[in-house]
Amino acid sequence: MTPLSLALAHSLPEVILAVGVLGLVLYGALRGKASDGPVTEIAVGLLGAAILVILLGFKEQAILFDGAVIDDGFGRFMKVLALIGSLTALVMGQDFLARERIDKFEFPILVLLATLGMMVLISAQNLISMYLGLELMSLALYVVAAFNRDDLRASEAGLKYFVLGALSSGMLLYGASLIYGFAGTVDFAGIAAATQGHVSIGIIFGLVFLMTGLAFKMSAVPFHMWTPDVYEGAPTPVTAFFGSAVKMAAVAITVRVLMTAFPGAEAQWRQIIVFISILSMALGAFAAIGQTNIKRLMAYSAIGHVGFALVGLAAGTQEGVFGVMVYMAIYLVMTLGSFAAILSMRVAGHAVEQISDLSGLAKNNPLMAFFFAMLMFSLAGIPPLAGFFAKWYVFNAAIQAHLYPLAVIGVLSSAVAAYYYLRVVKIMYFDEAAPAFDPPTPALRVVLAITSLFVLFLFAYPALFIDATATAAKSLF
């Protein structure tokens, strides 16, 4: 039995967020004003404090709360990514929400609750804590997707996400109950022990349902249908949140469940991962070509990128997990940067989101055009930008695991995907100038500059980042 104090010390980041949320709910309700006031700043402070505590805190691995939670290097790494995503989305979105008059104090609170859910999810060590984390995250996400409730598209996005999300939660629970029934335990280590050697058909059945639910949260094909509509309909800061933090948590729990609970069923789940990875890469590459809305484009891009990340998971090796983590970290930076640029797309006070609105940006705002172009090149995977290294590590892992067809399909679809990223660059640099954008807020400028300088100069000094990722990946094995 773990002493309570040690367990609390290990989960201090979660405690900070949970207690902070409760305090903010009270503060917001007693304050009696609808606007967000200092709540966003306090929420950003809490997220920052959680990041600091994780970075400065424990380095060893511990299983806490009677096997409900694991605190390991992999979890800490992915938690920091998710926290960075939430923090940046909050900072970037504040001005947008104020202009749309939806800057209620509940928004940062819901983002904090979703982030708390992600942290529970990432460090889950049994099926119950996984489900509770997933549900805490999803429930807050359904609400923030529909946060602009007077906007028809946002309400539609929220409702669509809710209905499909509830369905996927049901499938995940059904799978979890089958796994519990046939393995006799909800504990990941226990399931791994029960699937050692022979895997019963009931567990495989449950595993398929479980992966269905997780693939929905990752927006992997064929469970991606909600993604373009939700990305387009939700307020842009929410879309940035969906594209960054949520993806981190969903991919992290998928990696953790498959690698720690089902190493015995690797041959079975690899088929599924290869299948959804190929479909996601192909759909992400081809369906994005015809898009005219930049948020929809980012949605298809997200689907494709999840497919690329899953290539590393399909390898099922330590190199593969390392590749997934590098991929997700770089993808987080690229997504946040791209959404900083998208949030800056504002003409005469109104947000615009057509790709054609970017026409001639190079003449109106050369610096922003350059930064955005670098992010697009990086998303396309053009060397020597960071996006190239992300793809290189996952494909390398797939080749080492002898998954040659998967790697070849991945390279081909990334070549197809490069077309629409380059088209954005072409529109910015070579098309007739559209009306100039309003000057972006300082927060957006800083995020855009930092992210594009990161993708631009990662190749110059990758050691720190790569070493930290490699150490974290090792903890899963």
Partner 1 sequence: MIAALFFYLFSAVLIASAFLVITSRNPVHSVLFLILAFFNAAGLFLLLGAEFLAMLLVVVYVGAVAVLFLFVVMMLDVDFAEFKQGFMRYLPVGGAIGAIVLLELVLVVGGWRVDAASLANVASPAPPAMSNTLALGRVLYTQYAYLFIAAGMVLLTAMIGAIILTLHHKVGIKRQDVAAQNARTPKDAVELRKKSFRQGV
Binding footprint of partner 1 on the chain (CB under 8 A): 7, 18, 21-22, 25, 34, 64-69, 104, 106, 109-110, 113, 116-117, 120, 126, 128-129, 132-133, 135-136, 139-140, 142-143, 146-147, 149, 158, 182-187, 190, 193-194, 200, 202
Query: 362, 434, 371, 339: which is closest to 96 by C-alpha?
Result: 339
Shortest separation between residue 258's beta carbon and partner 1, angstroms: 19
Minimum distance of partner 1 from residue 25's CB (angstroms): 7
**Residue (200 or 271) nearer to partner 1, CB:** 200
Q: How far is the CB of 299 from partner 1 (least distance, A)?
A: 23
Q: How far apart, in whole angstroms, are the C-alpha atoms of residue 217 and residue 242?
A: 10
Residue pair 147/169 in contact (Cβ under 8 Å)? The answer is no
Bridging pattern class, strands 346-347 and 62-64: unpaired
- In the bound state with partner 1, the residue whose beta carbon lies nearer, of 242 and 454, is 242
Residue with tokens 């970017």: 358
Please tell me the distance from the alpha carbon of residue 436 to that of residue 428, in angstroms, as a whole number.
12
- Residue 182 or 223 with smaller CB distance to partner 1: 182
Which is closer to partner 1, CB of 183 or CB of 313?
Answer: 183
Question: Which CB, 132 or 449, lies closer to partner 1?
Answer: 132
The DSSP element (H or E) to which 218 belongs, if any, is helix 201-218
For the purposes of burial, counting CB atoms within 10 Å of the CB of 145, is it exposed (0-12), middle (13-18) or buried (19 or more)? buried
Calculate helix-pair angle for 152-183, 226-233, nearest 10 degrees: 140
CB of 187 or CB of 232, closer to partner 1: 187
Q: How far is CA 389 from the centre of its chain?
A: 19
- Asked whether the CA dihedral 423, 425, 431, 434 is positive or negative, the reply is positive
- Cα–Cα dist 80/413, whole Å: 30
As to burial, measured by CB atoms within 10 angstroms (0-12 exposed, 13-18 middle, 19+ buried), residue 345 is buried
Q: By the 8 A CB rule, do 333 and 268 touch?
A: no
- Shortest distance, CB of residue 351 to partner 1, whole angstroms? 21
Of 107 and 300, which CB lies nearer to partner 1 in the complex structure? 107
Tokens of 375: 């992010």
* Integer Cα distance of 124 and 160 in angstroms: 27
Closest alpha carbon to 84 in 123, 55, 126, 60: 55
What is the rounded distance in angstroms from the CA atom of residue 172 to the CA atom of residue 210? Answer: 4
Nearer Cβ to partner 1 (104/445): 104
Length of the chain: 477
| Amino acid (1-letter code) at residue 210 | L
Cβ at position 122, least distance to partner 1 in Å: 13
Give min distance, CB of 208 to partner 1, in A: 15
Could you tell me the smallest distance in angstroms from the CB atom of residue 290 to partner 1? 33
Q: Which is nearer to partner 1, 188 or 377 (CB)?
A: 188
Q: Pick between residue 126 and residue 244 the one whose CB is nearest to partner 1.
A: 126
Identity of the residue, 69 or 252, whose beta carbon is nearer to partner 1 in the bound complex: 69
Least distance from partner 1 to the Cβ atom of residue 184, Å: 3
Nearer to partner 1, 95 or 106 (CB): 106
CB of 233 to partner 1, least distance (A): 15
Query: Residues 30-33: contacts with CB within 8 Å, 24+ apart?
Result: 31/105, 33/105
142 within 8 A of 50, measured Cβ to Cβ: no
Residue 292, Cβ neighbours under 10 Å: how many? 10
Q: Provide, rounded to whole angstroms, the least separation between the CB of residue 114 and partner 1.
A: 8
Three-class SS state of 126: strand
Cα angle 283, 288, 294 (rounded to 5 degrees) comes to 145
We find the least distance from the C-beta atom of residue 181 to partner 1, in angstroms, to be 8
Q: How far is the CB of 69 from partner 1 (least distance, A)?
A: 6
Neighbouring CB atoms inside 10 A of 403's CB total 22
CB nearer partner 1, residue 133 or residue 387? 133
Q: Which residues pair with 317 in a beta bridge?
A: none
Rounded to the nearest whole angstrom, what is the least distance from the CB of residue 187 to partner 1 in the complex? Answer: 6
